[in-house]
Amino acid sequence: MLAMVILTPLQASRADISDLFKDFSLKDELELGRKFSVLIKSRMPLIEDPEVVSYINDIIKRLQTDMKPQPYKFEGNVILDNSLNAFAVPGGYLFVHTGLLLELENESELAGIMGHELAHITQQHITGRIAKAKKTQLMGLAGALAGMFIGGGSTGPGLAVGSLAAAQSAMLNYSRQDEREADQMGLIYLTGAGYAPQGMVGGFEAIRKKKWQSGSTMPAYLSTHPDVDERIISLGDRIRMLPPDMLKRPEDNKRFNRIKTLIRARYTDPKIALRHFDRSAPDDCMSQMGRAIALARLNRITDAADNFDLALACSPNDFLVNREAGSFHYMKGDLDRAATLLQKAILLNPRDYMAFFFYARLLGDKGDIKGASRYFEELLLHLPEDSEIHYYYGRMLGENRYLFKGYLHLAYSALYKNDKKKTDYNFGLANTNAKTPEEKQELERFEAKYQERAEFWDK
């Protein structure tokens, strides 16, 4: 009963879903979210590894445990950037920066910050302000949101598209009341998902600590609110009043630490990553894998192979270790060893699409075009905007004289890499080789995707 008293006072204030949108309709919100997502994907580097992306989306699903039904499907993405940032925008899109993932100590801290951001959506903090600007174009609003959420980060310049968007970003900024409400609702989501409530405070304290170390990495929406200390104190007081069994919930960081290892090894400076892994315990299987990945990036192939062998011996039935070792041996040309490891990774985890990707390439290299195509097509059902999948599939098809599909996939690859020149070039060749009505329809579908990106390329 005490938990209900503490965690539910805002529940009654949630508007009925039919009253939420008023002048700014649900359709408008979903369209704005889609445009914002396209803008971010056309301007910023995203982590495509399904293991990382699915992890974020699994936390979102868990946080929905104590949410009332929502009118949209949440989508999580990971931005390759060292800022301690995460933000959610209307339409259900949530973005987490890799810098935040690497800085936090516990999954509950990450979930606390994500719950706070999701609460900004469920409580209509942005849509309430947008509804007042009836004549504003959605693309301008997408740029304004970009300026609000990322404008101060290392990848932020130029994201506020046009002067209108830049002016609107100030209007859209969260109020102090919005932030307090998001804190409280986020705590409800966090505890409803079974996390330790202390994670909410821990996450914000990590961001606050970073502010004093380097103000430029502070999220703009948080650094502009001087009452963050007061909010942390208020949350701490609320958490201390929760039932003892809730306060004693254990932390489970196994998957969180795996994701951090993967990000650190593959996407940060490999020399710095190697020093980090060298400080780990000798029997830490994940650190052995991370060390091997970093060594491979430094072109220390023999050392990398030795460390992959150690990681496999340490954790022979870990799909991630098998996948990373398999992809390493594929890249160094040992196709037989790679095939064995990648097949095992797929058996251990049929959703390991990165293993699918390298195994598809391997089959293509061995001349099994039909087998490779089946894997590539399966991949594109789950990862339709992955530029690397389109590139290697298109290249394999082109080399085997399937010219229309080859050029079309190369055009998609260039499109999702935001390379307009190569997109136009390969689309022109696909158009030249289109013969059937079905192929003409495929070109029309491509043109629709092209227009989504071109809308922002030209600004």
User: What's the pLDDT score for residue 164?
Assistant: 38
CA pair distance 97, 155, nearest whole angstrom: 11
In our burial notation (b when 16+ CB lie closer than 10 A, e otherwise), range 163-188 reads ebbbebbeebbbeeebbbbbbbbbbb
Tens digits of residue pLDDT in 205-216:
888 777 655 544
For 146-160, 198-212, 324-338, 424-438, which range has the lowest pLDDT when averaged over its residues? 146-160
Residue 16 has what pLDDT? Answer: 40
Question: Any idea where the domains of the chain sit in the sequence?
Answer: 2-247, 384-459
pTM > 0.95: yes or no = no
CA distances (Å), origin 277, targets 256, 264, 269: 16, 9, 12
In the predicted model, what is the mean pLDDT of residues 231-251? 92
pLDDT at residue 150, rounded to an integer:
65
Separation CA 26–CA 74 (nearest Å): 14
Q: The tokens of 196 are what?
A: 């330790």
- Structural contact between residues 178 and 121, judged by C-beta atoms closer than 8 angstroms: no
The dihedral formed by the CA atoms of 64, 140, 151 and 421, expressed in degrees to the nearest 10: 100
Percentage of residues in the chain having pLDDT higher than 90: 61
Q: Is 77 helix (H, G, I), strand (E, B) or coil?
A: strand
Give the mean pLDDT of 293-322.
Answer: 97
CA-wise closest residue to 290 among 269, 311, 309, 306: 311
What is the tens place of the pLDDT at every residue in 408-423?
999 999 999 989 999 9
Neighbours of 419 (CB within 10 A): 14
Please give the residue that has the higher pLDDT: either 57 or 455.
Answer: 57
Residues 6+ positions from 245 with CB-CB distance below 8 Å: none
Tokens of 225: 């609110």
Half-sphere exposure of 41 (CA within 13 A, CB side): 24
What is the tens place of the pLDDT at every residue in 309-335? 999 999 999 999 999 999 999 999 999
Going from the C-alpha of 48 to that of each of 21, 425, 451, the distances in angstroms are: 33, 25, 22
Q: Which residue, among 237, 100, 101, 251, has the nearest Cα to 180 in the 3D structure?
A: 237
Measured between alpha carbons, how far is 308 from 184 in angstroms, rounded to an integer?
45
In DSSP terms, 88 is beta-bridged to 94
Asked if pLDDT for residue 428 goes beyond 90, the answer is yes
Q: What's the burial of 451, exposed, middle or buried (CB within 10 Å: 0-12/13-18/19+)? A: exposed
**Please, which pLDDT band fits residue 35 given cuts at 50, 70 and 90?**
confident
Cα distance between residue 417 and residue 41, in whole Å:
9
Tell whether the model's pLDDT for residue 15 goes beyond 90: no
Q: pLDDT by residue (tens digit) across 387-415?
A: 999 999 999 999 999 999 999 999 999 99
SS3 at position 383: coil
Residue 208 Rama label (left phi>0; alpha psi -120 to 50; beta): alpha
Q: Which pLDDT tens digit goes with each residue over 98-143? A: 999 999 999 999 999 999 999 988 887 777 666 655 545 555 666 6
Supply angle C-alpha 71, 77, 78, rounded to 5: 155
- Say how far apart CA 258 and CA 287 lie, in whole Å: 9
Measure the CA–CA gap between 204 and 182, rounded to whole angstroms.
13
Q: In this structure, what are the phi and psi dihedrals at residue 24, rounded to the nearest 5 degrees?
A: -100, 100
Tell me which of 338 and 73 has the higher pLDDT: 338
Nearest in space to 260 (alpha carbons), one of 222, 289, 300, 299:
289
pLDDT of 155 strictly over 60: no
**Which of 50-59, 172-181, 198-207 is predicted with the least confidence, judged by mean pLDDT?**
172-181
- pLDDT confidence bin for 157, thresholds 50/70/90: very low
Asked whether 351 and 378 are in contact (CB, 8 A), the reply is: no
pLDDT of res. 224: 44
Rounded to the nearest 5 degrees, what angle is found at the Cα of 113, between the Cα atoms of 249 and 68?
80
pLDDT tier at 170, thresholds 50, 70, 90: very low
Contact 17, 69 (CB under 8 A): yes
Mean pLDDT of the chain: 85
Residues in the chain: 459
